[in-house]
Amino acid sequence: MNKYRQLGNTNIEVYAIGLGAMPLSLDGRPDEAQALGVIKAFVDGGGNFIDSANVYCIDDSDVGHNEKLIAKALSKQEDTENIIVATKGGLRRPKSDWTVDASPEWLRQSCKKSLMDLDTDSIFLYQLHAPDPDVPLADSIGELARLKAEGKIQHIGLSNVTVEQIKLALSITDIMSVQNRCNLFERTSFNNGVVKFCEVNNITFIAHSPVGGHSQHAQRAKNSLLKNLAEKYDASTYQIMIAWLLHRSSSILTIPGASKTSSIMDSLRAINVELSKEDMQLLEANIK
């Protein structure tokens, strides 16, 4: 299995297992020392792609928590030249709720704040968190294209989208990545053609919630087939779920979340799990 994944049509490759930084900033988050330790362990363990969002925080008064944490952690690392931080705009957190606002005004305002919180002049990958039913997608993408032309962001990504929405975005600008929920138990993006479309068009498919998601991972990890295979491969059930995604397509980049150092260290080791064709088929057929 290739341990690296190409980003869009660039010649930049990142380690195939990134860090989903969301659990470091939501309600119930770890203290700062633990959170910084998770990011350090990830980078020291060879990881170099970190996924963030301005709204990984408790509520609207806390927007930027995750980005500031990442900036702080990376400021303590010696060599960060090859570390890629991707963030997102297009949501809000009123009273801890999650609401969509992909209006051009809010995207521009959010991007400006993300630049400050990440302590950078230019964001490498800026993702539209989700299309806004109240704003034409072309208007949201158009604003991202303007931010790119101004140099505030270098590449544009999409999240939570269909093939039709990706096509519309591509008619306006280049798209480097698509980030949708995707794991062994949630295969919509395989079934509706999004992963295939990304493969054909040199778009990196970033699988979010790769081990079942923030609230479901613990239950998913108890699956009996996963347990059997974990024993067979001397791996954890989480590693089997990550390895399955990485074997499905060389366009897939995984971003398992972690609030504990032990979790991200375990996830990084999934790169060594070489699932046989038979076991890939067994997983496909028996887990729905």
Chain residues that interact with ligand NAP, rule: CB under 6 A: 20-23, 51, 129, 159-160, 179, 208-214, 217, 236, 238, 255-260, 263, 266-267
Kindly list the distances between the CA atom of residue 258 and the CA atoms of 21, 26, 146, 188, in Å, as whole numbers in the listed order.
7, 11, 34, 24
Beta partners for residue 181, in sequence order: 208
Shortest spacing between CB 77 and ligand NAP, in angstroms: 19
Nearer residue to ligand NAP within complex by CB, 20 or 89: 20
Nearer residue to ligand NAP within complex by CB, 205 or 238: 238
Check the CA dihedral 104-25-194-114 and report its sign: positive
The pair of three-digit structure tokens given for residue 177, joined into one six-digit string: 């990545």
Shortest spacing between CB 212 and ligand NAP, in angstroms: 5
Q: From the CB of residue 92, how many other CB atoms can be counted at a distance below 10 Å?
A: 17
Shortest spacing between CB 262 and ligand NAP, in angstroms: 7
Q: What is the DSSP letter of 24?
A: G
Shortest spacing between CB 185 and ligand NAP, in angstroms: 10
Shortest spacing between CB 130 and ligand NAP, in angstroms: 6
Kindly list the distances between the CA atom of residue 1 and the CA atoms of 10, 42, 51, 233, in Å, as whole numbers in the listed order.
20, 20, 22, 15
Tokens 């806390």, residue located: 62
Nearer residue to ligand NAP within complex by CB, 45 or 142: 45
Nearer residue to ligand NAP within complex by CB, 147 or 182: 182
Non-local (6+) Cβ contacts of 187 within 8 A are none
From CA 81, how far away is CA 36, in angstroms rounded?
18
Kindly list the distances between the CA atom of residue 96 and the CA atoms of 14, 57, 129, 216, 271, in Å, as whole numbers in the listed order.
32, 8, 17, 20, 35
Nearer residue to ligand NAP within complex by CB, 97 or 150: 97
Nearer residue to ligand NAP within complex by CB, 110 or 159: 159
From CA 91, how far away is CA 55, in angstroms rounded?
7
Shortest spacing between CB 111 and ligand NAP, in angstroms: 16
Shortest spacing between CB 4 and ligand NAP, in angstroms: 19
Nearer residue to ligand NAP within complex by CB, 55 or 149: 55
